[in-house]
């Protein structure tokens, strides 16, 4: 089948979360932690992510958006780094750092090319306002905002993949899940979606990132420009 729509993981696939969080943490926490290892801080905060989402994914908690999740995990990260005295307004600004992340360099042009022939939407754990802010910051144009805020759940729950297919009305195989994370693609494939892996070897800074998929995929690309080439865009 021809690919008709692309739905994207965002954090790590389209935007460089580590550099952006480190930049904002260094700026906002300088008065309280002048010697902060901002990269390690970003890693630690991101490291809370999976565990923080689990109560919603398990059904033990009603859906709350990603800003709420990040705000709840932030105090433990501050304690981990021995940072005290951070006022509430600065903590709120730190949570907003997730809205001020920069795209990987090729993403705006890659998305422009892909949109010439396909419908595009995020399929991220992020909620609508978060996706809109990242899109506006980086000049990305989506045809819809799907994902956590739309499905009221978090990946890899089935609703996010099934809703992404239903939203555009194409067959599952005509809908391409694009991600830098093999586990996300495996979950999408289990619901019949086509899959594209994007290599992001620097996603985690010194810790690296996925250079190739560890699961079978429909496409494996070096970046979005390479994916656009493979799709004939």
Per-residue confidence (pLDDT) for residue 172, from 0 to 100: 98
Q: Are residues 82 and 163 in the same domain?
A: no
Rounded to 5 degrees, φ, ψ at 103 are -70, 155
| Residue ending a domain, choose from 99, 128, 155 | 99
- Cα gap 157→57, rounded to integer Å: 7
Contacts of 135 (CB under 8 A, 6+ apart): 122, 141, 142
Q: What digits encode the pLDDT tens for the residues 3-14?
A: 999 999 999 999
Q: Which two tokens stand for residue 192?
A: 């019949």
- Cα gap 99→89, rounded to integer Å: 16
| Residue ending a domain, choose from 54, 78, 99 | 99
**pTM for this structure?**
0.96
CATH number at residue 52: 1.10.150.240
Q: Are residues 10 and 23 in the same domain?
A: no
Q: Which two tokens stand for residue 18?
A: 């580590």
Per-residue confidence (pLDDT) for residue 145, from 0 to 100: 98
Q: Per-residue confidence at 49, pLDDT binned at 50, 70, 90? A: confident
- Cα gap 52→46, rounded to integer Å: 10
- Cα gap 41→76, rounded to integer Å: 11
Structural domain containing residue 33: 17-99
Q: Are residues 29 and 117 in the same domain?
A: no
Q: Are residues 166 and 216 in the same domain?
A: yes
Q: Are residues 40 and 151 in the same domain?
A: no
Q: Which two tokens stand for residue 20?
A: 């952006």
Q: Are residues 31 and 86 in the same domain?
A: yes
3-state secondary structure of 27: helix
Q: What digits encode the pLDDT tens for the residues 12-30?
A: 999 999 999 999 999 999 9
Is the pLDDT confidence value at 1 over 80?
no
CATH number at residue 210: 3.40.50.1000
In the predicted model, what is the mean pLDDT of residues 163-181? 97
Contacts of 197 (CB under 8 A, 6+ apart): 179, 180, 182, 185, 210, 212, 213, 217, 219, 220, 221
Q: How many domains is the chain partitioned into structurally?
A: 2
Q: What digits encode the pLDDT tens for the residues 102-159?
A: 999 999 999 999 999 999 999 999 999 999 999 999 999 999 999 999 999 999 999 9
Contacts of 57 (CB under 8 A, 6+ apart): 153, 154, 157
Q: Are residues 162 and 77 in the same domain?
A: no
Contacts of 186 (CB under 8 A, 6+ apart): 215
Q: Per-residue confidence at 61, pLDDT binned at 50, 70, 90? A: very high
Q: What share of the chain is helix, strand, coil (3-state, %, to 5)?
A: 50, 10, 40
3-state secondary structure of 164: helix
- Cα gap 47→62, rounded to integer Å: 22
> How many residues are present in the chain?
233
Per-residue confidence (pLDDT) for residue 188, from 0 to 100: 98
| Residue ending a domain, choose from 75, 99, 123 | 99
Q: Are residues 161 and 213 in the same domain?
A: yes
């Amino acid at each position: 089948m021809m690919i008709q729509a692309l739905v994207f993981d965002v954090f790590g696939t389209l935007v460089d979360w580590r550099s952006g969080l480190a930049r904002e943490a260094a700026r906002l926490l300088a008065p309280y932690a002048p010697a902060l290892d901002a990269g390690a801080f970003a890693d630690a905060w991101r490291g809370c992510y999976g565990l923080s989402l689990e109560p919603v994914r398990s059904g033990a908690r009603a859906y709350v958006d990603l800003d709420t999740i990040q705000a709840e995990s932030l105090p433990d990260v501050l304690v981990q780094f021995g940072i005290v005295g951070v006022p509430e307004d600065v903590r709120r600004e730190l949570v907003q750092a997730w809205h001020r992340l920069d795209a990987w360099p090729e993403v705006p042009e890659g998305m422009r090319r892909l949109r010439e022939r396909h419908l595009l939407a995020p399929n991220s754990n992020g909620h609508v306002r978060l996706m809109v802010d990242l899109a506006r910051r980086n000049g990305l144009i989506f045809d819809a905002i799907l994902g956590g805020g739309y499905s009221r759940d978090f990946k890899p729950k089935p609703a996010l993949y099934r809703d992404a297919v239903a939203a555009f009305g194409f067959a599952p195989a005509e809908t391409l899940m694009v991600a830098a994370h093999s586990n996300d693609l495996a979950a999408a494939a289990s619901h019949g979606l086509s899959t594209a892996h994007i290599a992001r070897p620097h996603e985690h800074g010194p810790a690296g990132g996925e250079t190739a998929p560890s699961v079978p995929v429909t496409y494996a690309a070096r970046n979005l420009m390479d994916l656009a080439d493979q799709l004939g865009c």
